[in-house]
Each structure stands twice: as structure tokens, then as C-alpha cells.
Chain A
Amino acid sequence: MKKTWNGLAISAAAIVVVYLLLHALGGREATAVLSGAAPLDARGALGVLYAGAHLALVALAPILALAAALRAGLERLVAADSASSVASRDASSSG
């Protein structure tokens, strides 16, 4: 079975990477644009992107990471359930 939870975990990791990248580019300082004390130029755009990435980091990435763990657990449960159904079907057909 394809591991769907991988996609969730990769998305969470991608948010972390984007955030760290914007942080390294000086995004935190550039958020001054949010107070209206700096123009919405390239640096201002960096600040807006950084703010978005920060919110994604604290609100979305943990949800994606948790969902990946839950999804992996659910996949195992479903796989175990399917295996036991197949086994009991095999047992009843051979009996």
C-alpha cells in the first residue's frame, strides 16, 4: 500500500524549510511592513511572506505532522484488519 502519510510529513517539513529560508533572508525584521512603518516593496513582500510562513509553521505544520502520525497508525490498523479478514476468509473456504 502506498504510504499516504508521507505526503503529509513532507508538507510539514517543507513548511519548516521555507520558514527557515525566509528567516535566514531577514524575514523577521522585514515584518515591520505589518505596522505600516515600512513600504510594501520587495523587502515588505519578504515580511508578508515571512509572517505567512510563521503562521503556517506554528498552526499548520504541527497539524500536518500530527495527521501524518495518525494516518500512519490508521493505515496499520486498516492493513491489519484487511489481513485478518483475508485470513479468516481463507480459513473458512479451506474448511
Chain B
Amino acid sequence: MRRLGLTALSLVLAALVWLPCLHLVYGRDPDASFSAERVTPRARALAARHLALWSDPDARAREVARMRATNAEWDFMGRTFLVLALANMAAHDPPGSPERARALAAIDAIVEETLRLEEERGHQHFLMPYGRYGGWKADGRSVFVDGEVALMLGARRLVEERADWRPLLAERAERIVRALEGGPVLSGESYPDECWTFCNAAALAALRVHDALDRTDHGDLARRWLETARARLVEPTTGLLVSRYAWDGRVMEGPEGSSIWMVAHCLALVDEPFARDQYERARRELAIPALGFGLAREWPRSLPGHADVDSGPIVPGLEASAGSSGLAFLGASTFGDRAWLRGLQASLDLAGFPVEDGEGLRYAASNQVGDAVLLYAMVQGPLWAKVREALR
């Protein structure tokens, strides 16, 4: 009996010593990865793997097929986040430098292929199957696709003008405006009778990018959207924007981690104080600090939900979500939350299974879209700064 007691005491003491120290093993300085002032070597290593993928058609086809087998949206969002990341990186590199030329060439290849696929296979090619079943309340176009295509076109032009893309961006912006203005709550559908704050916030950010580039002014629409969202789309207990709602504004799903971090990031171009307030509320509701590690829940504690394709796998007990934790990097990076970035990064290094080799860096437990989000979080800053500067 005494032996058992000594063993238990040893185990408890050892756990008390080791567990609080564990994060020190993984506690990388966030400034070594995340910076709006420079492209860190870690970001370059992560980008190298993506660039290699885009210069190897077979490898890319395999990766795209792997993602589309689970979710066609990932194929599309992987493109958007990678383009946004590369544009931010190119904005750092001096004109004429090989790094900038390589990033711009990759952006052009990604956007041109995306437009070609949309043209050849239809506007719904990047949607999940239920996007093709009909039942759209408006014209059958998805603000998810139009918004992110517009963001990609605009991001490229913010770094270096492509005059031939000017009408393409204007056309997408016009479609976004038509979708938003035509909706009872100033929101466009992403899927039939289904609006997402994620997609509408991205579309609004695209309009602000368009304003910055082409001297248009969608400020009034953005203000009205925010007024409507505050009145109709805020969940009362948390004060967070809901994630999914019908075209008429009927709420279908409350706040979600896999939406709110990106929403806050995009709305930072529309109304910075509101976006920051959403970020801080999300941080309070969704962040899981544990022994120096950081994770994010998919749903606020008071509003539980069920795992789905957006949340990714949920860690039992902790209720941490892969989707929310991945996008939390973008929120923390946008609002300069270094303390949480440190915790999130410790978790990523512990459970993301980084693989570093001659081709660069990737996370074995992630996929192309996950790594692209992470890369974007590492380098974001210059593009949004350019837009704010132009709109001042």
C-alpha cells in the first residue's frame, strides 16, 4: 500500500513539474514566424512548398483531388488564401526581385486557372454538391465565389497593376453589389437560400479593395450592411455575428469559430473598431488556454453545436476545433495578439506535425488550405495597410 502511495506521489510530482514546462519545448517566438514588416524565413519555407506545388501539375492535381474529395470549397479557398499570402509577400519584396516575380507569376497562374475552371465547369464548380440543386432566391450566383475571386483579382492589382484585370474586378464588384443590395438583409447567398457572414464579409473587403484601386465608393453599402448586421445578425448572449442565415435573415447557425476569425479579419477593412470588438468577443468565448498552449473552440460554451465539414475534427473534452484553431491564427495576427499567437503556435508545433525538408515546410496533419491560411496569417498586413492608406 505504501509502495502504491509512493508511486502515485512520484507521478503527481512529475506531472506537476513537466506539464507546465511542456509549452517551453514548443514555445517559439511568434515574431520568428508572424510579421507584417518582413517575410520571415518560416513563412518563406511554408510558401516554398506551395510554390513547388503550383509548378508541378501532377502534384497539384493529386492535392486538389484529395481536397475536393472532402470539400470542393477547400480547393477554392486554398487558392484565395494562397493568393492573398503571396500578394502580401510580394508587397514586401522589391520590384524586379526574383521572389516578387515568382510570387506574381504564381498568383497569375492560380487566378487564371480559377477563372478558366469557373468558365469551363460552371460558376458552381467550387461549391459543395448542394449548390447545384437549385432553390436560389436570387440569380443563382454565389457571393462566396464572386467575393473571393474579386479579392484575388484585387490583391494582385494592389501589388502591381494588371490593366487587363481591371474590368474583371469591376464586373465581380458589380455582381457583389447586386447580390447584397438585392437581399432583404443586404446579404448575398453563398448557397441556395443560405448566406454566410464569412462570404459576405469577404465580399465587403473585396469592395473596399476595389474602392482603393479604382476610386469607387462602396462605403455607404458597407455602412448599411453593418447596421443591418448589428440589428439582425448578432447573437444576443455573446454579441458575436452569427455564421449562417437564410436569405431573408432568419438565423440558421449561431457564431462559429471557423467563420468569426475570418469575418473579423475582413471587417477590419470596413469598420476597424467593430471588427476588433468581434475579435475580442470571439477570443473571450472561443479561446482555450491550456498550460501555455492555445486552441480555439468552434462554438461558444453557451451555444454548443455539432462537428461538421467547417469545424473539422473536434478534440473531445477540450472541444477544440481544427477549423477554428487554424483560422484563429488569422484573427490573432490581424489584431496583433502576440500572446495568443504564441499559444496557438505552440499547439501547432506540438500537434500539427511539421515536416521540413528540401522542398520547404508543411504540416503533415494539415492540408493545402490549412497551410495556406497559416501562411496568410504569417504574412498578412501590407495589403490591408495599402487599402487603408488609399481610402484615407
Separation of A35 and B70 alpha carbons in the complex (Å): 10
List residues of chain B with CB within 8 A of the CB of A58: 22, 25, 350
For residue A56, give the distance in angstroms from its CB to the closest CB of chain B: 12
For residue B256, give the distance in angstroms from its CB to the closest CB of chain A: 16
With A4-B6, A36-B70, A58-B350 known to touch, is A66 a contact of B18 (CB < 8 Å)?
A: yes
- Let me know if B7 and A8 touch, CB within 8 A: yes
Contact of A37 among B10, B355, B367 (CB under 8 A): B367
With A28-B355, A67-B14, A70-B13 known to touch, is A35 a contact of B312 (CB < 8 Å)?
A: yes
Residue of A62, A63, A66, A78 with most chain B CB atoms under a 10 A cut-off? A63
- Let me know if A74 and B322 touch, CB within 8 A: no
B129-160 CB mask vs A (1 if < 8 Å, else 0) is 00000000000000000000000000000000
Q: Is the interface of A mostly helix, strand, loop or mixed?
A: helix
Separation of A31 and B74 alpha carbons in the complex (Å): 18
Which of B1-53 touch A at CB < 8 Å?
A: 2-3, 6-7, 9-11, 13-15, 17-19, 22, 25
Contact of A4 among B3, B18, B71, B355 (CB under 8 A): B3
- Let me know if A29 and B7 touch, CB within 8 A: no
Separation of A51 and B71 alpha carbons in the complex (Å): 23
- Let me know if A35 and B366 touch, CB within 8 A: yes
> Nearest CB to that of A35 among chain B residues?
B367
For residue A14, give the distance in angstroms from its CB to the closest CB of chain B: 16
List residues of chain A with CB within 8 A of the CB of B13: 66-67, 70
Separation of A15 and B11 alpha carbons in the complex (Å): 16
Residue of B11, B66, B74 with most chain A CB atoms under a 10 A cut-off? B11
Contact of B18 among A31, A37, A63 (CB under 8 A): A63
B47-81 CB mask vs A (1 if < 8 Å, else 0) is 00000000000000000001100110010000000
List residues of chain B with CB within 8 A of the CB of A28: 353, 355, 364
For residue B239, give the distance in angstroms from its CB to the closest CB of chain A: 30
> Nearest CB to that of B326 among chain A residues?
A35
- Let me know if B10 and A34 touch, CB within 8 A: no
- Let me know if B364 and A29 touch, CB within 8 A: yes
Separation of A65 and B15 alpha carbons in the complex (Å): 10
Number of B residues, CB within 8 Å of A: 33
Separation of A8 and B13 alpha carbons in the complex (Å): 14
Contact of A35 among B9, B14, B370 (CB under 8 A): B370
Which of A63-95 touch B at CB < 8 Å?
A: 63-68, 70-71, 74-75, 78
Residue B309 at the A interface, CB < 8 A? yes
List residues of chain B with CB within 8 A of the CB of A2: 3
Contact of A32 among B2, B11, B313, B367 (CB under 8 A): B367
- Let me know if A74 and B70 touch, CB within 8 A: no
Residue A55 at the B interface, CB < 8 A? yes
Residue A17 at the B interface, CB < 8 A? no
For residue B64, give the distance in angstroms from its CB to the closest CB of chain A: 11
B358-390 CB mask vs A (1 if < 8 Å, else 0) is 000000111100100000000000000000000
- Let me know if A70 and B309 touch, CB within 8 A: no
Residue A10 at the B interface, CB < 8 A? no
Contact of A63 among B15, B70, B355 (CB under 8 A): B15
With A4-B3, A51-B351, A63-B15 known to touch, is A74 a contact of B9 (CB < 8 Å)?
A: yes
Residue of A38, A64, A67, A71 with most chain B CB atoms under a 10 A cut-off? A67
Residue of A8, A36, A38, A62 with most chain B CB atoms under a 10 A cut-off? A36
Separation of A36 and B70 alpha carbons in the complex (Å): 7
> Nearest CB to that of B370 among chain A residues?
A35
Which of B64-114 touch A at CB < 8 Å?
A: 66-67, 70-71, 74
List residues of chain B with CB within 8 A of the CB of A55: 350-351
Residue A24 at the B interface, CB < 8 A? no
List residues of chain A with CB within 8 A of the CB of B370: 35
- Let me know if B14 and A34 touch, CB within 8 A: no
Known: A5-B10, A58-B25. 9 other contacts (CB 8 A): A8-B10, A28-B364, A34-B322, A35-B370, A37-B367, A51-B353, A54-B353, A67-B11, A74-B6
In the complex, the 5 A-B pairs of residues with the closest C-beta atoms, listed nearest first:
A66-B14, A37-B367, A67-B14, A70-B10, A67-B10
A to B CB contacts below 8 Å, 24 in the list: A5-B10, A8-B10, A28-B353, A29-B355, A31-B365, A32-B366, A34-B322, A34-B365, A35-B366, A36-B309, A36-B367, A51-B351, A62-B14, A64-B14, A65-B14, A66-B13, A66-B18, A67-B14, A70-B9, A70-B13, A70-B14, A71-B10, A74-B10, A78-B6
